[in-house]
Structure formats: structure tokens, C-alpha cells
Amino acid sequence: MSALVLILPVVSAAERAALAQPLARARESALAGGDWRAWLAQRVGLAALASAPPAQVAAPVLGVAPALAWFATPVSLLAALDHVRMPADGWITLAADEAAELAERFARDFAGSGFALAPAGAEGFVLSGLAALRTRTHDPARVLAGNIGSWLAAGDDAASVRRLGAEIEMWLHGQPLGESRQRRGLAPVSTLWIWGGGAPVAVPGPAGPRKHSPRAYGGDSWLRGLWAAQGLSAPGEAGSLREVAIAREADTFVVARHGLRDDVVERWCAPALAHLAARRVASVQVVIDDRLFRINRFDLVKPWRRTVRWTASA
């Protein structure tokens, strides 16, 4: 029987408090690789991609060259007295028409720069043409509700990333998108957070056929790239676990991105535990931050519960 794996890249402080109860009987361990993407690549047998820059993994399915590919995620920033913060809801998901219009305006205003921008699913956009191979960047999900200072691009080529980021920030101030979002009471897009690129890594071709293939759901372009590298069909989309078809003979992976006001327990965790109690899956595994929570049917009847302590919150 298979495992049902829920990956929650962004979990607010309120959601963590709600998740403490259903995870109280889980067995907890550190996530191998310390990052959900590296862990998942290893889990599905593509260890070569565990250390690959995420945008390079996604590039083939986005139709751009991997070598100079980066993600550019719309974010909202707030200026404090002595630093700049990314609020808990600072990761902004644009509507399809908003993303298309912004990419079109970028192509017009940055014509001749060598840079190109295209919509790219949950990550926002893929940016191509930036040569900054010796740079360390971070997933903006790690920055939410925190000071951005220690998360900015670093390394020998970081100045190129920071310079383009500052140029995009100034450019965005003059875009109609900002006024449109303000009229609708939505947070403005302060900048595009550039991340996920770097030194090229060989992306393997599709693997051979399997008797039982893992199934995936999620809107991340990286996830699509990982599944394409296995020669598998693109992941499905789901707004809750009730829209997920659980695989019987292979693991099912769900990258669940949701708004801060969504009920993460109701949408994802409670239905997962119901599948486990009904013996439709052998185990439920939940990935949050750099931690893995594992629950099997025997854990459901444990007479004791432990306290889940969170070291970080978004």
C-alpha cells in the first residue's frame, strides 16, 4: 500500500497552531537534504536533481534554457524603521491575466536587455538571461514574516541579482498593476524576488517506464519539471485533498499551497488522516519546513500525545 505525502511550503503561525493537534501522534524527523525539493527529488529516485537550482529543473517544461533560468516571484515588502520585512502574506499569486500583462510590459520595457519574463505557475515567473552563476539565493517562502536582510542574494555574482531586482522594483512602481490592486484592496507587488538559479547542473533525460509510477498534485513549475524528468505526465491541480485521486500502488505527493485564510486542517490534513483510518493508504507523511511528520494506522490509536514545538513561523 502507498503513502500519501502532503508538502506544505508555506504555513502561517495560526496554521501551525491548528496542525499541532493532528500531528501530536506523529513520529518526527529532520528532512533529509533540509529542503522539501531536495528531499522529494531523492525520494522519487532523481538524486542528481536534489542539488540542482530549482529554476533549472523547471526550465525545460517552461520552454527556456536552463543555464540562465531564475524564478522571479511577486512579493510584497514593508519598510520598518531599520529594516525591510516580508509580511506573512507577502508571497503574491497573480491572476493569469495579471501575470500575462506584466510579462508583456516587461518584454516591451526591457527590450534589448537580454532579459525575458514568462509566467511560471506557483513560483510566479521564470526570468531568463541573467548570468550570475556564483550566487546563493533563497526561496521567498523561507523569508515570510521576517527581515529580508539575511536572505538577500549573496556570493561573487550577487551584485547582478541585486541590481536587477532593484531595477525591477523601480519599474513596478510605474505599472498599472499597482493601481489596479490598490483599487481592489489587494497588497501591492513591491518587487520580483529573484531566486532559484545558479551554476548549471545537467538535468537527466526522462527515465524509463515503471510498473507503478508516483502521482503528484501541485501548481509548482519545479514539480512539473521533476515529473517530466521521470517521463511522467504533468502533476494535477487540486484545491483540497478531496480533489486528489490517491494512487493505490505508488506514493501520492501533494504540494499544497494555500492562502493564509484557508483552513489547512480541513482542506488537507483531516481528509488525509481519514484516508489512513479507512486503510486507503499505508501512511500519511507531512512535510513542513525542514521536518517530516509520519503517521501510520497504529499511531492513530496511541494513548499519548506529544507537544509539537515550532521553531519558525510564517
**CA pair distance 224, 61, nearest whole angstrom:** 7
Q: pTM of the entire structure?
A: 0.92
Q: Which residues pair with 119 in a beta bridge?
A: 125
Per-residue pLDDT at 203: 67
For residue 279, the enclosing domain spans: 3-47+207-300
Give pLDDT tens digits for 147-193. 999 999 999 999 999 999 999 999 999 899 988 888 999 989 999 99
Per-residue pLDDT at 251: 94
- As for how many domains the chain has, the answer is 2
Give pLDDT tens digits for 198-250. 988 776 666 666 677 899 999 999 999 999 998 888 888 888 999 999 988 89
Per-residue pLDDT at 14: 82
Considering the domain architecture, whether residues 258 and 152 belong to the same structural domain is answered as no
Per-residue pLDDT at 172: 94
pLDDT band at 313; cut points 50, 70, 90: very low
pLDDT at 125 over 90: yes
pLDDT at 194 over 90: yes
Domain assignment present for residue 290? The answer is: yes
Q: Which amino acid is at 232?
A: L
Continuous H helices in the chain? 13-19, 36-43, 54-62, 96-109, 158-173, 176-183, 221-229, 264, 270-277, 297-300
pLDDT band at 261; cut points 50, 70, 90: low
pLDDT at 114 over 80: yes
Considering the domain architecture, whether residues 133 and 172 belong to the same structural domain is answered as yes
Torsion region of 31: left, alpha or beta (phi above 0 gives left; psi -120 to 50 gives alpha):
beta
Mapping DSSP to helix (H, G, I), strand (E, B) and coil, where does residue 178 land?
helix
Domain assignment present for residue 53? The answer is: no
**CA pair distance 98, 88, nearest whole angstrom:** 22
Per-residue pLDDT at 282: 94
Q: Which amino acid is at 214?
A: P
How is the beta sheet containing 69-75 ordered, strand by strand? 116-119, 125-128, 69-75, 191-195
Domain assignment present for residue 70? The answer is: yes
Considering the domain architecture, whether residues 66 and 167 belong to the same structural domain is answered as yes
When the pLDDT of each residue in the chain is averaged and rounded to a whole number, the result is 89
**CA pair distance 212, 193, nearest whole angstrom:** 38
Considering the domain architecture, whether residues 138 and 226 belong to the same structural domain is answered as no
Give pLDDT tens digits for 24-68. 889 999 998 889 999 999 999 888 899 899 999 999 999 998 889
Domain assignment present for residue 181? The answer is: yes
Cβ 5 vs Cβ 251: under 8 Å: yes
Per-residue pLDDT at 76: 95
Give pLDDT tens digits for 263-274. 888 999 999 999
